A and B are shown apart, each in its own frame.
Chain A
Amino acid sequence: MKIFHTHTNKINSHFKNVLIYIFILLAFISIPGKISAQENSGEGRLLEGDILENAAEKSDNAEISIDTYQENLLALLKNPINVNKATPNELRNTTLFTELQIRDLKRHVEIYGELLNIYELQTIPSFSLEDIVRLKPFIVFSGSNKSNEPFIKQLYEGDYQYFFRIGGYLEQQDGYVADSLGNTEYYGNNQRIYTRFKYNYHNKLSYGITAEKDAGEAIFGPSQPQGFDYYSAHFFKKGTGRMKALAIGDYELRIGQGLIMWSGFGFGKSVYPVTVRRAGPVLDSYTSTNENRFLRGAGITYAFKNVYVTTFASYKKLDANVSLVDTIDSEVIQVSSINDSGLHRTDSELEDKNSIKETIAGFDATLYKGQFNVGISAIYFKLSSPLYKNPDLYNAFDFAGTSLFNSSIHYNFLWRNILVFGEAAISDNLKGAILNGIVMPVDPKIDIAIVHRYFSPEYQTLYAETFSDGPTPQNESGTYFGTEIKPLRGWKVSGYIDVYKHQWLEYSSDAPSYGTDILTQLTWQPTRSFETYIRFKHEISDRNAASDNFEDALTLNVITPIEKATLRWHSDYDVSKSLTVKSRVEVSFFNEQIGLPEKGYLAFQDFNYHPLSSPWSFATRFAIFNTDSYDTRIYAYETEVLYAYSIIGLAGHGTRAYFLLTYSPFKWMDIWARISNTWYSEAEIVGSGNNTFPGNTRSDYKLQVRLKW
């Protein structure tokens, strides 16, 4: 995950949601005619577009990455799926279709025979024109989804890619400055290095290896004897026979709606308000660089007629904060937290590295019967040393000890046009969590979605992540209502309202707390080349009042409703086939109910130039920002080198600019070079601790090469 660079450490922890948004974007934003453009720039364009940075404001303790999903989509782009031949589950696993569309498509094929072309898809009511434009690059109407090649040939007749990426800050941060004895806080230099080899055979078989070092981590030397800080390898095969999927090495696992297990991306609250259901393959390859949130071992999905049984096992080491050590053989007796940052730069960070071992095993069995499916699953976690968090009231019910058992029932049911889905789970302390949702196209122009959830404060999980306001399905109950309305051609109104409650204390609220989260957006797209929208987001949630914040666990703070709002205008215009300009103005408000509300703004202008005939292309931005405080910071997505992401939260007063150059001299080679700079007009010191920058600017460079053959 350290392929990101951020301006504050705090922002780093917000990435999960941001990634989720990128994911949704990839999946759902229509990029008419762009995806099918030439392959190279096509890939670049997938990453662009309107990224929903406001999600980054949500704090989170877990990180997941969308690399796998993005790669799957790109692989699908190269090897489109034949929708006539694909089974419902194969269509589901692409995550591009709704349940309703899958059913209608299959019915259509059954009644009228195979579809001949994309135009015939328009005759199916559940496929809107927008859907068809979005799906077009990923689907075909002839050819086979099965591989004819023998297994051995699948192992080497596909596409190979190799990536090498290096980047870092130009300024020297304090952690790299030697003290009088010549020692530095960080063991390594300030470069980030990422390298990766991947193989893909028609989206059916893949394997690869990824290695990475974060800024400040050494390569070899006493602190990193094995070279890179992080290695990951995987082998993944999709099957069309009885064996549906096989994962060896690092993999992702998703069950039901995520109440007991969800690694990788899942939908949450977004500007796609009716996309609320979790779906996707149970097993998937893992190719990201988050160093903790994945499974390492093996998993297999096998079909016994209509019942798909997935069994999985994982064993890996985790970073954890050691709180008690056996003084004789220095064995870890107890840990106080599991550390997801994946950073191993200093002595204390290295101490935590791989300090405990985690074993996971379980199964999922899902019965598919027509428009209905229901599954049961169970998962068992075991840590080599017990986890005991520093006792505090807010974490009184969190998981503690060495082993945890979770079990759940999940279902999906499509009745007429109405999709009902849900999951109910329990943990081994017999506390439960339940989530149910409904998605209805009540009118051809109106879709609505409702999700209700109740998560007991005492429900315990380790890898769960679901549709909720908080990061995990614990201590929350709430109701969500989302709608998407297309009243006139080119116009769209989308919005949601989520009202939720935390029955027990939370980290930042010393009393049961309530929240209301509202988003509305009006989008106007008069032509394919121009889109503009206005978005208003407003959230009120109870937090400890800042004026009397006691750190003492025994003193309870007074809670107060905190109000946050942003208003954004954005426009995106394709001036010609090769030039896109984007503009944005965003204002933010933050009101703690004491003193005056704080405010801030951000404005930027982008130019993205991708001439079709030239091997060169570039993307650049100039932004100005002025915010009263860190609380009124504004996030903005930036165009990055392929497979890297940056979402920058800007606070203070200054400017931000970047320039990304892409050069594709040969068919088998692409080069990206990027430089960015943030200048603060007032700040004397930028950053904090070991990450303190000298002066009031910070500049970041990145260079990436891809070879493919």
Chain B
Amino acid sequence: MLKYAIYRTLKSLPTLLSLAIITFVMMRLAPGGPFSSNRRVPPEVRANVEHAFHLDEPIWQQFGRWIWGVLHFDFGPSFKYRDHTVAELIHLGFPVSLEVGAWAMVISTLVGLALGIAGALRRNGPIDYTAGAIAMIGLAIPIYVIGPILQIVFGVDLGWLPIAEWRGGWEYKVMPIITLTLPNIAYVSRLMRGSMIETIRTNYVRTARAKGIGERRTILKHAMKGAIMPVIAYLGPATAITVTGSIVVETVFQIPGIGRYFVDSAISRDYPMVMGVTVLYGGIIVFANLATDIVRGILDPKVSYE
């Protein structure tokens, strides 16, 4: 088991490395930099600033610096917010994004599981139908449409919740989190439903019934174990979806998280910031995939034999 965990961890290292390389290459390819503004800068100043940003060094040296920095969570100074390093800005924004994202993940997983199981057990019943409708909406309508619609309905028309911004109270968190949960609720519930239906039809569930241990035990103990595996496997991609979604949600609801910084930096050519956030988020996703793989290895007795 431990061997599998180590093996799996090692396998993700090249991915992280490639992530760093790709972001670095991309950023160096893109023109612009501290000088994207249109002001004419005298050559000496230009040379100084370049030196300060290490832009005058050979490329592999810059890359080495970059990697070194990444390992120390040092992404360099922001091009845009001259007084701050990227790391500081991330430090400010990440907890916010983390809070919204974590809540969204937890809620969407639990609700999705519940809806999926309920739908599978009472197929085509009212719960199944409702779950199906929610899934359809979550899957088809992008969250940057759902978010503003929620804003209109609950913020403008009904006035129950504040439209945007982030001023500390729970009411500012409700809509963003709910918006963020929707795509994953859709996926998880559909996945769980299909998986549950298929598991209930297996021979081993039939055997469990034949043993007379009762329907509840059959479903909760026997069917659940098999059915939940695809959902666990899905949690990795689910993290990616939540991360992506958080960018939108932070934009729509004006939340000061790093998703929003990311977009702003992309627009304003603040490349160190873009790189930093990309590496951070990329790392989170790689880690999430790693974690779910290991959890799957623990839960599925056949996996550790690979």
Q: Do A and B come from one complex?
A: no
Residues of chain A whose beta carbon lies under 8 Å from any beta carbon of chain B: none
